[in-house]
Amino acid sequence: MEKKFNEIMKKTGTQRTAADIMLFGVIITFLLGIGATILSIALPQSNLALLSGGGIVLSFLVSFLVYLVGGALVAALGLYSYIILRIHKRTVAVESVLSDYLQLVAANVDSGLTIDQALWFAVRPRFGILAQEIQIAAKKTMTGSDLEEALISFTKRFNSDTLKKSITLLVEGIEAGGAVGELLNKIAWNIKESSIMRKEVSSSVTTYVIFIAFSTVVASPLLFAVALQLITLMENLLSQVDFASIESTLSQSQLPLSLGTIQITPDMFQWFVVVILLISSIFSSLIISAVRKGNAKEGLKTIPVFAGISILLFFFLIKVIGKFFQGVGT
């Protein structure tokens, strides 16, 4: 398990190991648990603040354990999102310049350089992460490592099927002793064709992306704000009704009818809406990323944006709509 996790960490481009991440996660979890517990005590209207003596000690321990579990979930989710986004960012960075790099390598091979020299002299600063990793692979070959092994090891530092397939074809071409320059040109052209096709597909689904984003960020907060105002209005109206006299009248009329108050309060509905908007933001971000990019991982970074805008807009619309209904039902 630790070995597999270390391999995943290599794809992030960092030197952190599984032990480092576990230690960091434990520290973050402990700090979140302590901070949340102290905050619950400091609040003047909290249950912990109203206790004394042994009761507050027991409640502190129980609250700390609850917040510790919550902190562990938050820390695990945060670390997972960071690792996934870091790996995806490196993958996008290397795939965006891979075709240009392979074309330069092919030109160097056609000019008479050996494949290892062609790989080295094709490195340019504009290739970024790819240039850095190629330099590491080149240094391995200079210290006596086999070129094919160095290239395969290079692909394991990225989570890119395009890179793995390209390097695998290159290694097989080297072992077969074929025209490596022509092979590299074909690989580079196929990568460019795939990139162009993905961009065309992304542009063709723009309408669906706009619809999903609008329904999540604008339409849902608006409808929920209106619903909350209606619940508040009904609560104000029903508070003025004399249910006792109506119930006695209904009992005398022998009709199978009964009246009761609304069980859903505005505060309960408000918390419900916040949770629903958060869940909607998560799935909308992932769906939009999957539709546009063909990969849902890139949608992780837009989740805070969608959630923040939709929730803030919901509370803003509550105030705005409340002004229109001010005085109604009172």
Q: Are residues 38 and 17 in the same domain?
A: yes
Residue 300 lies in a domain: yes
Specify the pLDDT at position 41. 60
DSSP state of 243: H
Q: Are residues 110 and 84 in the same domain?
A: no
Q: Are residues 86 and 28 in the same domain?
A: yes
What average pLDDT does this structure show over 277-293? 87
Residue 256 lies in a domain: yes
* % of the chain residues with pLDDT over 90: 8
CA angle 121, 124, 129 (to 5 degrees): 115
More confident residue, 309 or 131: 309
Specify the pLDDT at position 49. 46
C-alpha–C-alpha distance, residues 11 and 8, integer Å? 5
Q: Are residues 218 and 315 in the same domain?
A: yes
The pTM is what?
A: 0.66
C-alpha–C-alpha distance, residues 289 and 299, integer Å? 5
Residue 329 lies in a domain: no
- Those residues whose C-beta lies under 8 Å from the C-beta of residue 308, and which sit 6 or more positions away, are none
For 167, the token pair is: 């390097």
Specify the pLDDT at position 12. 72
Q: Are residues 214 and 315 in the same domain?
A: yes
* pLDDT tens-digit readout, 176-186: 776 788 888 88
More confident residue, 191 or 199: 191
C-alpha–C-alpha distance, residues 170 and 176, integer Å? 10
Helix (H) or strand (E) holding 230: helix 220-238
> Is residue 31 within 8 Å of residue 67, measured between CB atoms?
no
Q: Are residues 294 and 261 in the same domain?
A: yes
pLDDT at 159 over 70: yes
Q: Are residues 23 and 57 in the same domain?
A: yes
More confident residue, 304 or 257: 304
Q: Are residues 168 and 226 in the same domain?
A: no
pLDDT at 162 over 90: no
Count of domains in the chain? 3
Specify the pLDDT at position 242. 56
Specify the pLDDT at position 58. 60
CA angle 304, 310, 314 (to 5 degrees): 140
Residue 330 lies in a domain: no
Specify the pLDDT at position 51. 47
Residue 237 lies in a domain: yes
Phi then psi for 146, rounded to 5 degrees? -70, 140
Q: Are residues 9 and 37 in the same domain?
A: yes
Q: Are residues 185 and 227 in the same domain?
A: no
Q: Are residues 170 and 209 in the same domain?
A: no
Q: Are residues 102 and 81 in the same domain?
A: no
Q: Which of 5-9, 122-126, 217-221, 293-297 has the lowest mean pLDDT?
A: 5-9
Residue 17 lies in a domain: yes
C-alpha–C-alpha distance, residues 5 and 75, integer Å? 17
* pLDDT tens-digit readout, 103-125: 888 888 888 888 888 888 888 88
Residue 136 lies in a domain: yes
Q: Domain boundary residue among 182, 198, 214?
A: 198
Q: Domain boundary residue among 52, 73, 91?
A: 91
Residue 20 lies in a domain: yes
Binning pLDDT at 50, 70 and 90, where does residue 249 land? low
Maximum average pLDDT range among 46-55, 221-230, 318-327:
221-230
Binning pLDDT at 50, 70 and 90, where does residue 53 land? very low
How high is the mean pLDDT of the chain? 77
Residue 102, domain extent: 93-198
Q: Domain boundary residue among 75, 91, 107?
A: 91
